[in-house]
Amino acid sequence: MSVAEVHWVTRLVDKGVWAPFWLGLSIAIGYLLIRCAFDGFFLATWGFPQGFDPLWRSAQWWTELVNATLLGYVPAVLVIAHRGIDRDLSQLRRWLPQNDAEVADIRAAAIHPTGLAGRAFKLSGLVGGFVLVFVDPSLSLGAERSPTNPAFMWPLLRIPVMAWLFFTLIASDLNATRTYLRVGRNLIEVDLLDVQSLSPFARRGLRSALTWVLFSVIFSLFWLGEDTASRQNPLLLAVVLAMATAAFVVPLVGVHTNIRSVKRLELDRLRDEIRIERAAVTNKLSDENVSPRLANLIAYYQLIDQVREWPIDAVNLLKFFMYLLIGLGSWLGGAVVERLLDRTLGT
């Protein structure tokens, strides 16, 4: 995201609960209005080629409705993601460095621009979308490649923007995920008796996984449009599910490494103290005096040894797998519906 993008996202984070919804809805409606204005312009000038109609008379209206939803969805979830990051940092504040400037740097690293590599990645999406229109004729329904042909010009405008937004969502999510990995591994102070307090790392992963699953669900709605399922890219489903999995697992890996390291050091320390206390007890001449310290050390060692090394419970793990099933099921269900419609209408 650019600096300007960060500013408008930051402003919206401070608005009401429904700000992301109204943002997404406004963008979706704006997209449809722009499409209608685009069609109206060509109707008033060069007209439409035979076999193609403006949006309000086109059989492709469902496809444009899904496109509008996707276009509004990405900025909305970026605002929601930034709110979630602020909430996580607030809950983790006591385990983070006490210096407020360092915490501010962590927040900036999670939500601010991704640097030159990130900008180049997003630019590649824009350029790739532009090239794709020329490489894949099905995207423009085989229309003549002419600046006076609306059936060609609209995909040439729409697809690069959609690809740029998709790549922006990937870059933003990867940037936040990398930050959570670094914070969990190097900056969090782990309390082995309160591992549950590190659950924001799990919630961050679940939020991000849900973001990608919902994106997949919306994209799968293309199956319900007339003659659009054949142009769906199965690779996109693989990318979305991979992003959902990585976004869930990676933040947990960092804090897991930290917990495991602290746990190992604590167990080693306790083991040394137990050896010292055991030696003191065995050197006593009488067995009547049992060391309560030795018993306490052994009990504490067992307590620490049983501490879980992942800040996640079975409920959150079940939620994650349910999200993946929903994402996969939306595509499979859409494909089944499309096949049934084809067979029904073809008879």
Higher local confidence (pLDDT), 124 or 8: 124
Residue 5 has pLDDT above 60, yes or no: no
Instruction: Give the Å distances, CA to CA, from 218 to 48, 95, 237, 242, 322.
Output: 29, 38, 12, 17, 17
Is 93:38 a contact under the CB 8 Å cutoff? no
Residue with tokens 């922006």: 168
Structure tokens belonging to residue 312? 């996640």
> In which band, very low, low, confident or very high, does the pLDDT at 229 lie, cut at 50, 70 and 90?
very low
Arithmetic mean of pLDDT, 223-245: 68
Residue 346 and residue 328: Cα distance in Å, rounded?
27
> In which band, very low, low, confident or very high, does the pLDDT at 225 lie, cut at 50, 70 and 90?
low
Phi and psi (nearest 5°) for 243? -65, -40
Residue 21 and residue 24: Cα distance in Å, rounded?
5
Residue 347 has pLDDT above 50, yes or no: no
CB atoms within 10 A of CB 238: 10
Residue 257 has pLDDT above 60, yes or no: yes
Arithmetic mean of pLDDT, 38-64: 82
Q: Give pLDDT, residue 181.
A: 93
Read off the pLDDT of residues 89-133 as tens digits, 9 standing for 90 and up.
999 988 888 788 888 888 888 887 667 888 889 999 999 988 888
Residue 171 has pLDDT above 70, yes or no: yes
Higher local confidence (pLDDT), 207 or 149: 207
CB atoms within 10 A of CB 260: 14
Interhelix angle 200-220/314-346, rounded to 10 degrees, is 0
Q: Give pLDDT, residue 109.
A: 86
> In which band, very low, low, confident or very high, does the pLDDT at 88 lie, cut at 50, 70 and 90?
very high
Q: Give pLDDT, residue 113.
A: 65
Lowest-pLDDT choice from 103-112, 142-151, 261-270, 281-290: 281-290
Mean model confidence pLDDT for the chain: 82
Q: Give pLDDT, residue 52.
A: 79
Q: Give pLDDT, residue 142.
A: 67
Higher local confidence (pLDDT), 61 or 24: 24
> In which band, very low, low, confident or very high, does the pLDDT at 249 lie, cut at 50, 70 and 90?
very high
Residue 335 has pLDDT above 60, yes or no: no
Q: Give pLDDT, residue 306.
A: 92
Residue 68 has pLDDT above 90, yes or no: yes
In 272-309, which positions are buried (b, 16+ CB within 10 angstroms) versus exposed (e)?
eebeebeeeeeeeeeeeeeeeebeebeeebeebeebeb
What predicted TM-score, i.e. pTM, was given to this entire model? Answer: 0.83
Read off the pLDDT of residues 292-311 as tens digits, 9 standing for 90 and up.
888 899 999 999 999 999 98
> In which band, very low, low, confident or very high, does the pLDDT at 31 lie, cut at 50, 70 and 90?
very high
